[in-house]
């Protein structure tokens, strides 16, 4: 596992998007980037994942071990990016098949069982609920065995109860990996993060988290208090912004 450090200004073509970023995301922990829609959260996800786009970093993006990040990052995005024409096993093993290596079908079955989809291996994504689709995407991230996992609003399209269940599942299965969670949901950040920032144009502000280890119980008083404080703070920001 490796840490990821992002320093500098993020530009979108010719316009600055976020300035003075200084994000030290520790190895084997959950780092959470919290921000409102449109602040450029997904741009950071694409940047770390090495995907093309108009974004441009004037600064540095480095892995803790000094090696390049390329090829060591897995991304799980909101839509899940499942192949509608392929069954679940083929969806989970698409990475190996795209690289032209032999897919590990046994491991795919194992992971599908771990995410709670045993017996559904032959189904198509259209036969699944939103939460089940994200479980498949999670299994696909796990089979890639990447050192750094970027989760770009992975659960934001799910209903609240499903979202809480998926957060617990992801926390359990991604334990020990360097996870970068990008979200607009304060509770999600407070539950899962070991380190968290609130993103804004002027830079990222470190968010203080409850002392308990993650994933935190959403009923715990300190989590609820932190959530209330954070919501008040975000509401203030939103009122100022527009």
Q: Taking the complex as a whole, how short is the minimal distance between the CB of residue 81 and other proteins, in angstroms?
A: 5
Query: Which of 13, 38, 66, 100 touches other proteins by CB under 8 A?
Result: 100
CB of 82 to other proteins, least distance (A): 9
Q: Cα-flanking dihedrals φ and ψ of residue 192, to 5°?
A: -105, -25
Look-up of token digits 């795209």: 98
Stretch that binds other proteins, among 56-64, 91-99, 153-161, 227-235 (CB under 8 A): 91-99
By CB under 8 A, residue 26 contacts other proteins: no
DSSP E strand stretches across the chain: 4-12, 15-25, 30-34, 55-63, 73-76, 148-152, 178-183, 195-200, 203-207
- Based on the shown chain and the rule CB under 8 A, indicate whether residue 102 belongs to the binding site for other proteins: no
Q: Which parts of 50-79 interact with other proteins (CB under 8 A)? A: 50-52, 71, 73-75, 77, 79
Which residues 112-131 are close enough to bind other proteins by CB under 8 A?
126
Report the residue number, 126 or 208, with the smaller CB distance to other proteins: 126
Long-range contacts: 166-171, Cβ < 8 Å, 24+? 166/131, 166/134, 166/135, 166/138, 167/191, 167/192, 167/215, 168/215, 169/115, 169/116, 169/135, 169/138, 170/138, 171/30, 171/214, 171/215
User: Smallest distance, Å, CB 73 to other proteins?
Assistant: 7
Question: For residue 191, what is the enclosing H or E element?
Answer: helix 186-192
Task: Choose the stretch contacting other proteins; rule: CB under 8 A; options: 3-11, 43-51, 173-181, 229-237.
Answer: 43-51
CA 121 to CA 116: how far, in whole Å?
11
Q: Of the two residues 51 and 234, which places its CB atom closer to other proteins in the complex?
A: 51
CB nearer other proteins, residue 18 or residue 82: 82
Give the separation between CA 179 and CA 167, rounded to whole angstroms: 13
- Specify the residue, 96 or 224, whose C-beta has the smaller distance to other proteins: 96
Positions touching other proteins (CB under 8 A) are 46, 49-52, 71, 73-75, 77, 79, 81, 83-86, 94-95, 97-100, 126, 144
């Amino acid at each position: 596992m490796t840490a990821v450090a992002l320093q500098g200004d993020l530009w979108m073509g010719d316009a600055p998007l976020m300035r003075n970023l200084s994000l030290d995301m520790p190895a084997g922990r959950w780092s959470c980037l919290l921000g409102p829609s449109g602040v450029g959260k997904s741009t950071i996800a694409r940047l770390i994942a090495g995907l093309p786009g108009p974004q441009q970093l004037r600064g540095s993006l480095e892995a803790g071990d000094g090696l390049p990040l390329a090829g060591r990052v897995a991304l799980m995005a909101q839509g899940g990016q499942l192949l509608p024409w392929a069954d679940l096993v083929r969806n989970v093993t698409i990475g190996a098949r795209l690289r032209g290596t032999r897919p590990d079908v046994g491991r795919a079955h194992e992971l599908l069982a771990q995410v709670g989809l045993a017996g559904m291996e032959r189904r198509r994504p259209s036969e699944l609920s939103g939460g089940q689709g994200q479980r498949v995407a999670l299994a696909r991230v796990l089979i890639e065995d990447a050192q750094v996992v970027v989760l770009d609003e992975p659960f934001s399209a799910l209903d609240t109860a499903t979202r809480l269940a998926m957060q617990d599942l992801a926390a359990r299965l991604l334990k020990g990996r360097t996870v970068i969670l990008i979200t607009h949901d304060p509770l999600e950040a407070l539950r899962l993060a070991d380190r968290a920032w609130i993103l804004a144009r002027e830079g990222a502000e470190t968010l203080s988290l409850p002392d308990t280890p993650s994933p935190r119980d959403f009923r715990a008083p300190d989590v609820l208090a932190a959530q209330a404080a954070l919501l008040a703070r975000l509401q203030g920001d939103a009122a100022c912004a527009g």
